[in-house]
């Protein structure tokens, strides 16, 4: 874990261990330059604690860029609860309470919400012990799941990418492969089908695939397949699916999906560029969840304001694509430069 922190450019990390559940708890704060750090709480099993910490630091960095490029007055952070396996309901509540106390000790410099492995119900538990939990269930005064608005943002982003490649954002007849049909992928499939796109799906949960096949008449492939022939490859499950090994397998013109950390290495953005594949950087296209939570629960936005910001994801991607073309750089590099410019121009809160 020392090596992970040594190679990280973030501000600080809170690391603790829960003996009752055998879990490691991590909170990584990458930047508070634009405001208090914010990021979801991820709960999953990892091969080793260092892998969980590395995930937290990478995701926290992505959150910094996500907030900056979305124009939100917040910084970037992330929580990871690395559990050894399935938890009983009592142990889960215990672990969430322990995590909430950690969040509370940071005094508002970090706020959290749902992520992979956690839900609005979990945020309800956190809020019993800390004021700094977003995404509670509506009946508890929260804004509910941000996943549907993440899907809306990805939909606008896919339209912008298709428009950049073909000259028209019309998705009718566009073939889209959605890999991962959970809380974000499922509503995205519905919007794509409604727009006239031809959709191929995959998921590790067979029941999800069967439900989408029955409801929309989509076709399916095995969940680990990458090289589906399509116009748009939309990874919407876990990240790190684009690498030196998988780029040659891709049979698409665009990579644009909801997953975080889609690229295994920074160089993979250049590999996609060299392959003639347009990449919608993940921290731009999947910003809808952050917009939903920050907009409703921190900025008191109306639905109209949230919807305008979600549409803005498409406009931001158009800016990224133009910058990449103008400077002959990858879209990942172009997006990072735009985000870094906004960070440099932003305020520096007191430590």
The pairing of strands 175-179 and 232-235 is parallel
Residue pair 78/4 in contact (Cβ under 8 Å)? The answer is no
d(Cα 314, Cα 154) in Å, to the nearest integer?
Answer: 8
Neighbours of 300 (CB within 10 A): 8
CA–CA distance from 177 to each of 18, 166, 256, 345 (Å)?
40, 18, 10, 38
184 φ/ψ sector (left φ>0, alpha ψ -120 to 50, else beta): alpha
Cα 324 versus chain centre, distance? 22
The alpha helices in the chain, defined as continuous H runs, are 2-6, 49-69, 89-105, 120-127, 147-166, 185-194, 206-216, 267-274, 282-285, 288-297, 303-327, 331-345
Burial 237-251 (b: 16+ CB within 10 A, else e): bbbbbbbeeebeebe
- Residue 89, classed as helix, strand or coil, is helix
CA–CA distance from 144 to each of 186, 217, 284 (Å)?
17, 29, 22
Q: Which of 44, 66, 78, 215 is catalytic?
A: 78
Residue pair 80/4 in contact (Cβ under 8 Å)? The answer is no
CA–CA distance from 164 to each of 227, 252, 260, 318 (Å)?
22, 14, 22, 7
- For 114, residues 6+ apart whose C-beta sits below 8 A from its C-beta are 40, 41, 120, 122, 123, 135, 145, 146
**Positive or negative: CA dihedral 223, 225, 226, 231:** negative
Asked if 66 is an active-site residue, the reply is no
Residue 153 in tokens = 């943002």
Instruction: Give the catalytic positions in this structure.
Output: 78
């Amino acid at each position: 874990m020392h090596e992970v922190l040594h190679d990280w450019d973030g501000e600080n990390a809170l690391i603790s261990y829960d003996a009752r559940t055998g879990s490691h708890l991590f909170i990584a704060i990458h930047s508070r330059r634009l405001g208090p750090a914010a990021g979801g709480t991820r709960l999953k099993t990892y091969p080793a604690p260092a892998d969980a910490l590395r995930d937290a630091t990478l995701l926290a960095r992505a959150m910094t860029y996500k907030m900056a490029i979305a124009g939100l007055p917040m910084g970037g952070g992330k929580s990871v609860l690395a559990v050894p396996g399935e938890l009983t309901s009592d142990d889960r509540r215990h672990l969430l309470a322990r995590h909430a106390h950690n969040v509370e000790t940071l005094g508002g410099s970090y706020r959290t919400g749902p992520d992979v492995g956690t839900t609005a119900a979990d945020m309800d538990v956190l809020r019993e012990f800390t004021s700094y939990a977003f995404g509670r269930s509506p009946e508890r005064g929260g804004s509910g799941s941000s996943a549907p608005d993440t899907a809306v943002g990805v939909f606008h982003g896919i339209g912008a990418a298709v428009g950049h490649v073909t000259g028209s954002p019309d998705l009718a007849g566009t073939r889209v492969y959605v890999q991962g049909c959970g809380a974000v992928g499922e509503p995205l499939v519905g919007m794509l089908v409604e727009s006239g796109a031809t959709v191929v799906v995959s998921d590790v949960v067979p029941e999800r695939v069967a439900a989408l096949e029955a409801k929309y008449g989509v076709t399916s492939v095995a969940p680990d397949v990458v090289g589906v022939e399509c116009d748009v490859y939309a990874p919407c499950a876990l990240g790190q699916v684009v690498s030196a090994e998988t780029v040659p397998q891709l049979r698409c013109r665009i990579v644009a999906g909801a997953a975080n950390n889609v690229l295994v290495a920074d160089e993979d953005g250049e590999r996609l560029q060299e392959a003639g594949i347009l990449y919608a950087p993940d921290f731009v296209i999947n910003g809808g969840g952050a917009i939903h939570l920050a907009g409703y629960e921190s900025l008191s936005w109306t639905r109209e304001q949230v919807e305008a910001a979600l549409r803005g994801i498409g406009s931001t991607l158009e800016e990224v694509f133009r910058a990449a073309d103008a400077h002959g750089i990858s879209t990942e590099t172009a997006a990072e430069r735009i985000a870094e410019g906004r960070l440099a121009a932003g305020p520096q809160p007191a430590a």
